[in-house]
Amino acid sequence: MVDFIVVGGGSAGCVVASRLSENPDVSVLLLEQGPRDNSPYIHMPVTYYKTAQGNLLQRFEQVRSEADKHLGAQTMVQPRVLGGGSSVNAMLYIRGAPDDYERWVEQGATGWSYKEVLPFFKRSEDNDRLSNEAHGEGGPLGVSDPCYVHPLSRSWLKACQEAGLAFNADFNSGEQAGCGFYQLTIRNARRSSAAVAFLKPAQRRSNLKVRTDCRVLRIVFKQGRAVGVEIADGQRTSTIYADREVIISAGAINSPHLLMLSGVGPAAHLRSCGVDVVHDLPGVGQNLCDHVDIYMTYQLSGPYSYDRYKSPLWQSWAGLEYLLFRRGPVTSNVMDSGAFWSSSQSTDRPDIQYIFLCGSGIESGAPVPGGFGCTLNATHIRPKSRGWLGLRSSDPAQPPHIVPNYLSEPSDLGCLVEAVQRGQEIMSQKALSKYIEREHMPGKQLMTKADYEQYIRQYAQSSLHPSGTCRMGTDDLAVLDPELRVRGLDGLRVIDASAMPSVVSGNTNAPTIMIGERGADFILRSLT
């Protein structure tokens, strides 16, 4: 028996396990379904796209609704490796906008205003450039400016300014609008994942144990209290008991799925799938939020992007430079510059995020031009559409039934139409004209709004930022209270992106780490 069991070694789970084990009087067991983060592709920034291959991502087929049946996002994924999303993502350090957290409070998440969560962002952070009221230094998580900036990125930022976007030196200052360089979760030219930053140092402590390649099948309850978990370790199943709490940090797909398999969720749905009801909680699996993005690709007139490194000779040169000096293209995440912009759908705050990629074929699903290319990604970061997920059966081996309902709200589609139009405007500016030979995708002339809508429905895809499926709040559909405890049960919390009442305006890794920090703090305070 241990004091705390943490289910899921993703961004939040690594933080929770690390912070709890700082108390020498408690014992912590972290259980992760995937392998350890041993792949070298995880740790070299430029090879992050290779982590999408193999067994590091768990892929779920989605069920199409009428609204999104033609959308190009056939699958939704959850990372399955120690470090979770922080081990496989593009390393962009984006917190979202302060207004996101004020909106959480309006939705019932008392105590989660921007002013109240900011100290937990700063607690994690070790920023190599910024030290002010918005940023921290000395924390576990390395946050840095890009180690290597491609010249084409600088030209793209000039094009943004020619198109009317102001330069923004810090997207996390409290003001997102404008164009600039992203800060990245990189330290010393290597990825600073939650596993590296939080868990690796903590594993020296005797009160923390980490088990990988271990699947949790169900939560074990006794008289309304979570007392342990049933696990499958190879061909053997067993039960591990927790004296204090079970903490679910398995992500916005697997956390609600595990709750429902364990009898916690909408009672009628659970019974229809052959699951004995432990606690009727209708909101489990509802409120699925995700971002949708769309790509524009361009063929360049020469070797002006990272595509030149597809040549074995150039790859060898870049690899040698990295091995000898820890510098050069291998230290790049290939998407060091971007922008936030407000469409006509939003009157007062950015709702579009741009990411410029100095290459082609880097992201799955983006059409690849011949020769040398570059890519512009546009994401709608304030979607109104909501989906849901449920069980297919009581068998833990069966994946969940996922209905994301992308673009079911007309304003979401309209926002992406404007995003493509504004993106084309940026790419047509003088600063880029000497590099670009032609627009590869959309390529054909899009004349009407209907043309743009058709293009988006054909090529748009999930940004892989699922959240909200175990949201916190105080209403009847809230799954968690504002201290991340499962409502109506004892000894059980959910601490990950599923707790978000609504998805933040940007990449979700930094907010998920913050939720891990906040959740661990709630638990440690309860021990005193």
Please give the positions annotated as active site. 465
DSSP 75: E
Judge whether 211 and 32 are in contact, CB under 8 Å: yes
Helix (H) or strand (E) holding 470: none
Q: Which of 177, 6, 13 is nearest to 84 (CA)?
A: 13
DSSP letters, 220-233, are EEETTEEEEEEEEE
Which residues have CB under 8 Å from 160's CB, separation 6+?
179, 339, 354, 426, 429
**Residue 73 to residues 208, 238, 390, Cα–Cα distance (Å):** 39, 37, 19
DSSP letters, 285-317, are T--BB--EEEEEEEEESSS-SGGGGGSHHHHHH
Structure tokens at 317: 């040169």
Question: What count of Cα atoms within 13 Å lies in the side-chain half-sphere of residue 473?
Answer: 23
Q: Which of 224, 227, 209 is nearest to 26 (CA)?
A: 209
DSSP letters, 246-290, are EEE-SHHHHHHHHHHHTTEE-HHHHHHTTPPPSEE-TTTT--BB-
- CA-CA distance, 506 to 92, in Å (whole number)? 9
Judge whether 506 and 104 are in contact, CB under 8 Å: no
**Residue 45 to residues 199, 333, 492, Cα–Cα distance (Å):** 19, 5, 36
Q: How many Å separate Cα 437 from the centre of its chain?
A: 34
- CA-CA distance, 443 to 436, in Å (whole number)? 13
Name the residue with tokens 């743009």: 452
Q: Determine the 3-state secondary structure of 389 from DSSP.
A: strand
